[in-house]
Amino acid sequence: MALIRAEHHGAVVKWNDEIAGRQFDVTVRFDAARYHYLVVIECKNYTTRAVTAEEVDALVTKARDVNANKAIIVSTSGFQRGAVEVARRQGIDLVTVAEEEAASPAYITDQTTPVLYIGNVRLDVLGGDPLVFSDDPPHQHYQMRHTLLRGRDESMTVERLADILTREDRVPSLKRTAFSKEWVFPEPVLATGEALEHGDVRVTRVSFDCEVHDARIMDRDCHLDPHVLARMSLVYRLRNVVTGEDWTFDGALRFDTVLRPGHFYVQPGNGFSYYCHAVDQGQATIFLVESYQHGNLLRAQLRQSVDE
């Protein structure tokens, strides 16, 4: 929305808009040369397939029903060949969007160091479904640090167990190939801690995947979690697969959200979640409800001008 408004000053942009009984993810209305224009946009965020020709045809019908001047589909997973052919015939724009790393900040040096990445952390639960930790690295780090495995004679966090199991693998000469680790307990242990949303469980096995990468070194302490810093350096690349046009935009253009009391918000630029408690005389009272950094959950109350 912010990008659209930056390019079309005065445009009226709406999310989840309904026109003549037809729902659209985004609509844009603006005036030019004494004429009124309507653009309708559908957003597709599939994980396992591309947008089909049938879905393009469906938007063509919807757009005609509301007399739209332009129709666009934005997809994170691409478009099937038949979809592109239909779009060319019908004058529909198809846009892919992907995250890319921007130019590195000045405090990122060219020096590298081997870093062990851990993912797919899984706790097998006695008599229940396995507990799989988040695939978001800061959240996963918090879960590993704040989940305690309590046995008959010894207790340790999942983070500590992972450190013990991978100690011999933390060497610069290790090949950059993925591998897995697991620990089967002789008898079930109690998993407990604030990171377990559904309470304590008894665990029989812990497993996780590992891979070593060469990470670039910072020349100063920026205090923020490195994963948050990496997320903040992302830009979005958009490509119109019909026309071949290609462009990027960064986080400065990502948001123009209207804050409303009683609503939750997510800032993809840093991964933080917020709750708007109240808006009074141009000032919003906002609670930072979820910010995972350095293995901890940070929360805060903020006051923010709604005009900034």
Q: CATH number of the domain at 227, please.
A: 3.40.1350.10
More confident residue, 180 or 214: 180
- CA-based nearest residue to 123, from 137, 151, 143, 139: 143
Mean per-residue pLDDT of the chain = 87
Is the CB of residue 71 less than 8 Å from the CB of residue 85? no
Same domain, 1 and 148: no
Q: Are 240 and 299 found together in one domain? A: no
Same-domain check for residues 236 and 214: no
Q: State whether 262 and 190 are in the same domain.
A: no
Which tens digit of pLDDT belongs to each residue from 74-92? 999 999 999 999 999 999 9
- Residues 47, 141, single domain; the answer is no
Show which of 218, 238, 273 is a domain's final residue. Answer: 218
Are residues 270 and 179 part of one domain?
Answer: no
How many percent of the chain have pLDDT more than 90?
60
Condensed to tens digits (0 to 9), the pLDDT of residues 265-307 reads 888 777 889 999 999 988 999 999 999 999 999 999 999 887 6
Q: In whole angstroms, what is the distance from residue 160 CA to residue 243 CA?
A: 52
Query: CA-to-CA distance for 306 and 259, rounded, in angstroms?
Result: 7
pLDDT of residue 12 exceeding 90, the answer is no
DSSP labels, the chain: -HHHHHHSTT-EEEEEEEETTEEEEEEEEEEETTEEEEEEEEEE--SS-PBPHHHHHHHHHHHHHTT-SEEEEEESS-B-HHHHHHHHHHT-EEEEEEEEE-PPPTTEEEEEEEEEEEEEEEEEETTS--EE--SSHHHHHHHHHT-EEE-SS-EEEHHHHHHHHTGGG-STTS-S--EEEEEEEEEEEEEESTT-TT--EEEEEEEEEEEEEEEEEESS---S-HHHHHHHTEEEEEEETTT--EEEE-GGGS--PPP-TTEEEEETTTTEEEEEEEEETTEEEEEEEEEEETTEEEEEEEEEETT-
pTM above 0.85, yes or no: no
Place of tokens 């921007």: 102
Q: Are 182 and 166 spatial neighbours (Cβ–Cβ below 8 Å)?
A: no
Q: Would the CA dihedral through 259, 261, 266, 270 be positive or negative?
A: positive
CA distance 7 to 257: 17
- DSSP classification of residue 193: S
47-63 pLDDT tens trace: 889 999 999 999 999 99
- Strand order across the 108-125 sheet: 131-132, 108-125, 201-218, 179-192, 148-150, 155-157
Domain co-membership, 82 together with 231:
yes
pLDDT at 106: 64
Question: Which pLDDT belongs to residue 103?
Answer: 65
- Please count the structural domains in the chain: 3
| Full domain range(s) for residue 299 | 258-308
Greater confidence (305 vs 42) lies with 42
Same structural domain, 2 and 80? yes
Of the ranges 109-118, 138-147, 245-254, 296-305, the best mean pLDDT one: 138-147
Are 155 and 304 within one domain? Answer: no
Last residue of a domain, one of 194, 218, 242: 218
CA within 13 Å, CB half, 253: 13
Q: Would the pLDDT of 1 be above 50?
A: no
Whether 186 and 46 map to the same domain: the answer is: no
Q: Is the dihedral of CA 172, 174, 179, 181 positive or negative?
A: negative
At residue 6 the predicted structure's pLDDT band, cuts being 50, 70 and 90, is very low
Report the pLDDT value the prediction gives residue 250, as an integer from 0 to 100.
67
Q: Which residue has the tokens 């639960």?
A: 125
Question: Is residue 98 domain-shared with residue 119, that is, in the same domain?
Answer: no
State whether 231 and 204 are in the same domain.
Answer: no
